[in-house]
Amino acid sequence: MSEPSIQLEKIDNYRWRIPKSYKPGMRVPGLIYANEKLLESIYKDKALEQVANVAFLPGIVNNSLAMPDIHWGYGFPIGGVAATDIDEGGVVSPGGVGFDINCGVRLLKTNLELDDIKDRLEDLIYRLFSDVPAGVGSKGDIRVGAKEEKEILIKGARWAVEKGFGTEEDLECTEENGEIPGADPQAVSERAFERGKAQSGTLGSGNHFLEVQLIDQLYDRQACDTLGLNLGQVMVMIHSGSRGFGYQICEDYARKMVESLAKYKINVPDRQLACAPVNSSEAKAYLGAMRCAANYAWANRQCLMHLTRQAFEKVFGSSWQKLGMFLIYDVAHNIAKIETHRVNGQDKKLCVHRKGATRAFGPGHPDIPERYRKIGQPVIIPGDMGRNSYLLVGTEKAMQETFGSTCHGAGRLKSRTAALKAINSDMLLKELRSKGIIVKASGRNTLAEEAPMAYKDVNDVVDVVANAGIGKRVCRMRPLGVVKG
């Protein structure tokens, strides 16, 4: 390993500390979840420096946290978690949520097995590619007017269910029931409305995808029984977010928040960490707009699931209910939420930033659907289109150490530009097909940008969170077919 600029203190094989003494002004240490193999890639960008910078935030509690899929981002690293104590002047930072607000993932089960699907897999992937709009600026079949758009921002996935695009059970199996309260359409700019109005029910570009998968390994029989999962079962994973709508909200408020630094005498080493006290008017406006984007994303994934169910119905000639296409869970990856956590023996109201990180509440938590309370909250960890993905559940240790948070995916190894230079799309398609994976993408560049070699190995990432105790493995899925934006 090359000599790093930051000397980490080893706590154990899966946890490392940036001491508070590393930079004058750090209020708490940095805590990184990683093994030695992953640290080699982590040292290659400035993500660790960002972990240290986040530790400057007013009101930050315990540690500035980094998950094993950490890589360089805007302000916070992607894979960063930080909680601030609202009563102690705790702040919210748009850089701690990111541009794709509530980029997240949902997992559906089916009662199909490989033998039921293998002869129709190509047809199914082409049907999904045809029926689910994907790509930059893709326009959806689900069109809404200005009045309804504001409804979506308040109701989230409930709006979609009321329109016939799903069921009440879908809402029960979605984080925040798919409608986080406190959304304020008045806090959203006209430019954001303009960017969002044509993109409801669209997949989006980049690392967003729709993937047909097969369970190839079980780890926890009790959890699998609770979830109704078996070896060889066909699953569907949908990864999407708030599209241009959320991007514009982040852009608007990241710029506005810079003025708050001087106003509230906040000192941070990076302007991308611009922030304001949670109780301030600036923070309330940002949180109101951010929640609109979060609800937009939940409505979007609900619509995408509806279109996916319809595509399966067309290919298999049966209703989605008979195909057993029920939602396991939907989780957000980029969000700031007001939550109550135990800190030094006291219940404290915190603003928890999760940027490229997944909520992972442990067994018994009241915010988990009752059906899952014995096992903990389902946690969905996508890999890449050539390797497997995972379903985990949250743990009590995550509640104690990470404010109920864990990793969100594999994490990038190469930038999109570097991947484009290094990877031949045609060769990649052939290689994936030789593994039995059918891929349809809107653009050739997307294939290269999202190639497996552009990402860390998700198996290493999940190994860290499982061994550190902040996520518990339930089952593993391998890809059969992928639709990319």
Looking up tokens 């030094």, which residue turns up?
344
Residue 2 lies in a domain: no
Residue 3 lies in a domain: no
Q: Quick check: 207 and 414 in contact, CB under 8 A?
A: no
Euclidean distance between CA atoms 153 and 292, whole angstroms: 4
CB-hemisphere CA count at 13 Å for 86? 18
C-alpha to C-alpha distances, 178 to 294, 320, 441, 467, nearest whole angstrom: 9, 21, 28, 31
pTM: 0.93
Segment 146-187, tens digit of pLDDT = 677 889 999 999 999 999 999 999 999 999 999 999 999 999
Q: Which residues are tagged catalytic?
A: 408
Residue 431 lies in a domain: yes
Query: Is the model's pLDDT at 1 over the cut of 50?
Result: no
Can you tell me the mean pLDDT for 196-222? 76
As for how many domains the chain has, the answer is: 1
Write out the DSSP string of 388-435.
-EEEEE--HHHHHHSSSEE--S--BSS-HHHHHHH--HHHHHHHHHHT
Residue 425 lies in a domain: yes
Residue 472 lies in a domain: yes
Residue 18 lies in a domain: yes
Looking up tokens 């995808």, which residue turns up?
209
Query: Is the model's pLDDT at 259 over the cut of 90?
Result: yes
CB-hemisphere CA count at 13 Å for 367? 20
* CA angle 172–174–176, rounded 5-degree value: 90
C-alpha to C-alpha distances, 162 to 157, 159, 199, 302, 361, nearest whole angstrom: 9, 5, 19, 11, 28
What confidence score (pLDDT) does residue 455 get?
80
Instruction: Tell me the residue range of the domain where 480 lies.
Output: 9-484
CATH number at residue 479: 3.90.1860.10
Query: Is the model's pLDDT at 138 over the cut of 60?
Result: no
What confidence score (pLDDT) does residue 198 get?
57
Confidence band (pLDDT; 50, 70, 90) for 3? very low
Residue 426 lies in a domain: yes
Residue 4 lies in a domain: no
